Structure 1
Amino acid sequence: MALFSALMHERSSVAELVTSLRADLNRYSPGGKLPSSRALVERFRVSPVTVSRAIAQLAAEGLVVTRPGSGAFRAHPRVAPTAPGDTSWQEVSLSGDGGPEVVPRTVDASGVLVTLAAPPPGVIEFNGGYLHSSLQPERALSAALARAGRRPGAWGRPPTDGLPELRSWFARAVSYT
């Protein structure tokens, strides 16, 4: 029972700290650095674990961004998602419910089947996006993969709407063409 009571107190202290920090976020401009974990521990008289969990909760809500070794920063406001494109034409053209005069739809898969066929002996295909094994710098690729796998956040999922840096790069690249 004491363990349950301690867990309940810990959960409520995390929730209370999240509420306090959420109210304090207006003091910081987007990108502004929040106080250190040590300062938050002293200010709110909670454990470092409670501070860590509260910051993680705010990060999960998209209100703060954490950078290992640098601290926590107020997140930039999210841009309202754009309305999804009009896909109603797909419903009409792909539906099979057109009444008694339904024309059976067929798909010509011959182009797909050609790409799936094995190439003749001695032919190296470049259309798949992968180099032939004899052309790949396997040691360099292995070293690069090992380095990339050790980076913070390498094993996390990216945001569903894409990485902001990559989206802005694509927007710039498309606007120049």
Structure 2
Amino acid sequence: MHERSSVADLVSQLRGELDRYSPGGKLPSSRALVDRFRVSPVTVSRALAQLAAEGLVVTRPGAGAFRARPRPTAAPTGDTSWQEVALSADGAADLVPRTVDASGVLVSLAAPPPGVVEFNGGYLHPSLQPERAMAAALARAGRRPGAWGRPPMEGLPELREWFARGIGG
């Protein structure tokens, strides 16, 4: 092996031989690799580090190098190609620069006319919020004995019974 590419050469040769070992199978020792390929121990350690970085080998100090178990394949990602077109400004030469008509957005952000109750925001209109009733209920709950203490670890008996009735059907 030539000095200038000995690590790359060793990585290439070891990558080609990994099929001989079952997942989790132990590779030859560093000393055996030094003798077999006539390279330095540093070259062997760098080659094994490269294979480990690629996820093909797992090294355990004092135990040796082992063929990595196959990684589970990730679920295929969704098609996001529409975003490249929709969100592109003028980065790609083959894409037409996009302009956005913001009038629809501005209309939806504008305050509604008097007397109109909107339901599209996810929040109740202030006239529909029971603020006084909620404030009174929270004040009563805060004054109850034990309201500011920790509940028992096993849970509140009344709540457990309620869940048991609901689950038991």
Q: Shorter chain as normaliser: what TM range?
A: 0.3 to 0.5
TM-score for both structures, normalised by structure 1: 0.46
TM-score (norm: length of structure 2): 0.48
Computing the radius of gyration over CA atoms, which structure comes out larger, 1 or 2?
2
